[in-house]
Amino acid sequence: MLEESSFEPKIIAFCCNWCSYAGADLAGGMRLKYSSTIRPIRVMCSGRISPHFIIKAFQEGADGVLVTGCHIGDCHYMKGNYITAKRVAILRELFNFIGISPERLRLEWVAASEGDKFARVADEFTEKIKTLGPSSIKNISFNK
C-alpha cells in the first residue's frame, strides 16, 4: 500500500466559467501556490455539471471531485447553483449508501474575486483526499 506522503491524488475540479474558473485564474495571477493535483475543467455553469460527469471522473481515475460555482444568488443563469447544490447533496448521499466516502466530493462557492479562497479550498481538499487514500471507484464499468 502507498504511504500517505507518497500518494499524490488526482482531483478534478469542475469550475463555473463566470465565477470559480475566474477565481482559479486569479489565484494564478496573484501567484498563489496551490496543489498541482487539481485539474480544473471549465463549464459554462455549475448547473450544467451532470451527475454522470462526476461519476465518470471517478471511473476514469479521479480520487476526488471538487465542484465549484457562483455564490448562491449570483448565478449568471439564475438557478444553476441551486441545481448544483441539490445534485451534489444527492450524490453524496448515494456515495455514502454504496460505501464510498462522500468526502471525496466537495462543493464550494467561489467568486471571481476569491482567488485566495480557491487556492485554500484546493489545498484543503487535496489534504483531505490524501488522508482518504486512493479511490476504490476506478475502473468500474457498468457496460458489459
| 140: pLDDT strictly greater than 90 | no
pLDDT at 67 over 90: yes
pLDDT at 49 (0 to 100): 98
| Lowest mean pLDDT across 13-22, 28-37, 135-144 | 135-144
pTM equals: 0.91
pLDDT band at residue 5 under the 50/70/90 scheme? low
**106 touches 125 (CB < 8 A):** yes
> pLDDT band at residue 137, thresholds of 50, 70 and 90?
confident
Give the cell for residue 13. Answer: 475540479
CATH code for the domain defined by 11-132: 3.40.50
Please state the domain extents for the chain. 11-132
Please tell me the distance from the alpha carbon of residue 127 to that of residue 95, in angstroms, as a whole number: 20
